[in-house]
Structure 1
Amino acid sequence: MPLISLLEIIYLIITTFVVGYIFTSYIPQAKRIPSEDELLAKYQKKFFDWDELKFTMLVAAPGIILHELGHKFLALFFGLTAVFKVFWFGLGLGVMLKLISSPFLILAPGYVQISGNPSVLESLLVAFAGPFVNFLLWLRSWYILSTKKNMKSRTVLALTLTKQINMILFFFNMLPIPPFDGFQVFFNLYKLIF
């Protein structure tokens, strides 16, 4: 069995584009002087801005995609079967909220379906793997912002947004209520201790 199937790759690409689209207009763009072509394009009616989509995919999608892959690859490491699935309702809800210009965002684009017979410790670690990826992305962005100087404003913006998004994803996913990862983490931790 391959580490990742062609269908999963297609699902990850779809999720990346849809998450990027959902985050357009929620994520500010770096301020810069537009080129002549950009000024002309600004006045042309377009469904959406490709540059904005690329930027939002760059800052928003990795936290979500890598979170799910964290669950998947650790489950595979433990000998379990793990498959990434698109949660079509969650993607659709996110798109709908964007289309109606909702001031808040609900995003549940996908999940990893795990089968097998994991131990309590394995279940705890697999559940924590996703939020841990967000924690690492948050710390990495914070570290780069704290130590590197003379970065372009767009790079600073991308790192700042990556830091904020992954901090929110970490804390949100660690809530100890179903269906969040935190519920499985704390439930299995309780089973380990007691």
Structure 2
Amino acid sequence: MTEYWVSQGNKWCDFCKIYIANNPLSIRTHELGQRHKDNVAKRLATMRKESAAKEKEQKAAARALKEIEAKAERSYQKDLVSFQSVDTSTGLDSNKKKTDEAQCSAATTNGNGAASKSKGGPAPGLVISTPLNPTRAVKGKPSSVAVNKRKRDDGKAKAISKEEVQALKAREAARKRMEEREKPFMGLYKSY
């Protein structure tokens, strides 16, 4: 048996950005060298700096978020206090509030007294109370096909033109050709 010469590949050093021979002696010699050690130390230092900067950035974002939440809470408390002071005072403000509540409740109910689905008041346009399709009284009613109902035959033969008869024959012939072509793929017949 003949033996073929195979080239020894090169190994890439990520720290030094150079290729070295791919054998244990060359790799060990390179890794024990001063240049490689310096490059490893530089890489570790940059990784530490990057992680410290990332951590500092995350802390700053968390601090800013806490400040925003605190401001929002203070604003909410001020709004509550001002609302309560208007409500407790006598005069037009409390009457106005009552009329506003009455208008809102009247706007959110339709003629039957049931609440409408929209939250912003009455519908913006003309409201149609009759269904759009009068033959379909119940929403979601199953079709006659799904219920296995068929249309009744009137017993009357429809007048069919010669072109329609030819088209129906052509369609039936095409269906049969396709059926014959698809039989092997349906798994119905085995060829031995």
TM superposition score category, shorter chain reference: under 0.3
- Where is the helix percentage greater, Structure 1 or Structure 2? 1
Which one has the largest radius of gyration? 2
Higher relative contact order (CA 8 A, sep 6+): 1
TM-score (norm 2): 0.19
TM-score (norm 1): 0.19
